[in-house]
Amino acid sequence: SQQGEEDPQALSIQEGENATMNCSYKTSINNLQWYRQNSGRGLVHLILIRSNEREKHSGRLRVTLDTSKKSSSLLITASRAADTASYFCATDANTGGFKTIFGAGTRLFVKA
């Protein structure tokens, strides 16, 4: 089952613009994480937000979490060509087990 679903599926912007990606999920969660994947490589952890947090920052990244709407957003400010990658949200499905559920991802292309 797909817990997290990212929106949009693909995003193309100019260098210097902001990029916003959204993630929706179905069941209650304890934590939500965002990961980045450069083409075909392993995923790299970006940021973790707990269910009792509403917003978190890390450098040019800003993540928000709205548990009432079961959604999260990742904002990358002042994007660079090097930000070109796929971005995934991942949740722990608070169902008694310890599964991790990833969304299908957003492909971001930043044009120089």
Decide whether 79 or 86 has the Cβ nearer to another protein: 86
Least distance CB 76 / another protein (angstroms): 18
| Residue 1 binds another protein (CB under 8 A) | yes
CA R_g for the chain: 13
Cα 66 to Cα 29, 33, 54, 79, distances in angstroms: 11, 14, 7, 24
What is the DSSP secondary structure assignment for residue 60, as one 8-state letter?
A: T
| Residue 14 binds another protein (CB under 8 A) | no
**10, 16, 28, 44: which one contacts another protein (CB under 8 A)?**
44
Residue pair 18/10 in contact (Cβ under 8 Å)? The answer is: no
At 33 the three-state DSSP class reads strand
| Residue 22 binds another protein (CB under 8 A) | no
Q: Which residues in 85-104 contact another protein (CB under 8 A)?
A: 88, 90-92, 97-104
